[in-house]
Amino acid sequence: MDIVSIRDLSREQIEEVMERSERMIPYARGEKASKALDGKILATLFFEPSTRTRMSFESAMMRLGGRITDLGVPSMSSISKGESLADTIRMVEVYSDIIVIRHPREGAARLAARFSSKPVINAGDGAGQHPTQTLLDLFTIKRIKKDFNKLNVVMVGDLKYGRTVHSLAEALSSFGVELTFVAPAALQMPKETVRQVERMGGRPKLTNRLEETIADADVLYVTRIQKERFPDLAEYQKVAGMYRVDRRLLREAKSDLIVLHPLPRVDEIDPEVDGTPHAKYFEQAFNGVPVRMALLNLVLGGEL
């Protein structure tokens, strides 16, 4: 079984991952120990820098008693000698039991899955999919809010290029969540994603004014707006300033509003928010471990 896109998982499978993730929490915290994946080797192929995703996969594997091997620095390895991804995969699959890959090109994980007889998990392919992030976002929302039904989720920031928001929006709409997309016109949610959400029965609202959406929000999902998307710095600063989440903005919010962010953040969330009960982005980052443990366990088997 490969996990390349969130669409590879049925709704039942997503629910199963969430149940398993819940059971993984004491193991992820180190309160309980497990040998479920004793003797198994995870190969991490990160062709792009990553901190959270890579470390949480490694931590997940080790918490289940497995071991990890990695590519080393890509510039020092066979990749820099011009080896194709297909050949790299054919080599790595004989050294490991499961492969986790992040790659700058869209479709790289699907290609890896085709060349590998061992399971492949996509940890982000270019501007494409990042299914384990989607699952951990879903798990975080489910864990805090208990139920998806009638939740009002506001997504704000770079909704056009931010790879986490497309699959999250589709997944949330399949659970009956109401969605609001807040972004400047140039960075608004792609039409294809909006149509997909509508096909699933959602009626997403699109706006560029965050302050008008905050009062009704149950979840505020913030993403980083990247400077390099803007031709000039002044334009970037104007937009970045419009979507800054701080205490003043949150005065209007419901008391149980939760603020999430896939991290790393730059200045879209003021550090003064960190100490408020709204801030759940560090808990979200921790949830990467139990969710990835659940996936590794689901794919590789093994009793807890």
Partner 1 sequence: MKEFKVTPIRNGTVIDHIECGMALKVLRIIGMADGGKAQSPVSVLMHVPSKKEGWKDVVKVEDRELDPREVDKIALIAPKATINIIRDFNVAEKYNVKMPERVVGKARCSNPNCITNQNEPVEPEFVVESKNPPVLRCVYCDRQLDDIAGNLL
Among 11, 114, 199, 209, binds partner 1 (CB under 8 A): 114
Could you give the angle at the alpha carbon of 101 between the alpha carbons of 95 and 105, nearest 5°? 130
Distance CA 277, CA 111 (A): 42
**Any idea which residue has 């709409």 for tokens?**
173
- Least gap, CB of 235 to partner 1 (angstroms): 24
Among 51, 80, 84, 276, binds partner 1 (CB under 8 A): 84
Which 3 state secondary structure label does DSSP give 179? strand
Per-residue mark of binding to partner 1, 187-226 (x: CB under 8 A): -----x----------------------------------
Nearest to 268 by CA among 224, 220, 208, 210: 224
Binding status of residue 93 toward partner 1 by CB under 8 A: no
77 binds partner 1 (CB under 8 A): no
Q: For partner 1, what does the binding mask look like between residues 115 and 154, x meaning CB under 8 A?
A: ----------xxxxx-------------------------
Q: Does 91 bind partner 1 (CB under 8 A)?
A: no
Closest CA to 140 of 22, 27, 253: 22
Q: For tokens 């819940």, name the residue.
A: 22
Distances (CA, A) of 43 to 62, 93, 96, 134: 12, 8, 6, 21
Number of residues that bind partner 1 (CB under 8 A): 19
Contact positions toward partner 1, by CB under 8 A? 5, 84-86, 103-108, 110-111, 114, 125-129, 192
